[in-house]
Structure 1
Amino acid sequence: MRRVAFAMGVLATALALALTASSTAHAASGRLLVNGNLYSDPSGCYDSQNWPLRVDNRTDQTAVVFAQSGCRGSIIETVPPGGAVISEFGASVQVG
């Protein structure tokens, strides 16, 4: 009986690790253009000190525009794959 309980515990732990590993973020495929700066297969946060914030999302993932640098603060808008936006109050973009 203890062996069965041990085996079930090992199986549950392996399943939990597998689910955690599969939900991690990965780089987007394509290109992201942020105020003239081109990023290939972008992943993470991109700041800009220029306004308005111009985002051209040619990736396979949605880009999220934030009100503050470092992808903090409120979400101003989202840019779907293949979309573009000029955001008057955006300060940073996150994708991937």
Structure 2
Amino acid sequence: MRRFATALGALAAAGTLALALPGSAYAATGNLVINGVGHQNPSGCYSTGTLATLIVNQTDATVYVFSDLNCSGDVQQIIQPGISTLAFGSSVLVK
């Protein structure tokens, strides 16, 4: 009986964890355009491919432009939802 209770408890904990993890991922709703290339419901880091980048933030999320690749280095610019701008950086992070 004790093994059954332990197994049942472990199963309940695993089920709770499995249900909680999918909710922690976040994707913005809308379209992010980087130099003419659209990204529907973007999430994470995107390379700009160039130093001067036209960014159109048609999402519900804030976009951060970083000086270096892989969203590292200094934040060069913060782009609020609904803003289109010329940005200078190597990568873009959607938060």
| Normalised TM-score (structure 2) | 0.71
After TM superposition, the structure 1 = structure 2 runs for residues 11-90 of structure 1, keeping only pairs within 5 Å, are 11-26=12-27, 28-34=28-34, 36-41=35-40, 42-88=42-88, 90=89
Q: How much is the aligned-residue C-alpha RMSD, in angstroms?
A: 2.4
How many pairs align?
93
Deviation at 1:55, TM superposition (A): 1.9
* Rounded Cα–Cα distance in structure 2 between residues aligned with 1:38 and 1:29: 16
Deviations 1:6-63 (A, max 9, x none): 222211111112111221233x3322222x3231413443322433333220112222
Identity value in percent: 28
C-alpha separation in 1, matches of 2:75 and 2:20: 28
With the length of structure 1 as denominator, give the TM-score of the two structures. 0.71
> Counting helix residues as a fraction of each chain, which structure ranks higher?
2
2-side partners of 1:49 and 1:9: how far apart?
47
State the distance in 2 between where 1:84 and 1:10 align.
49
Unaligned stretches of 5+ residues in structure 2: none
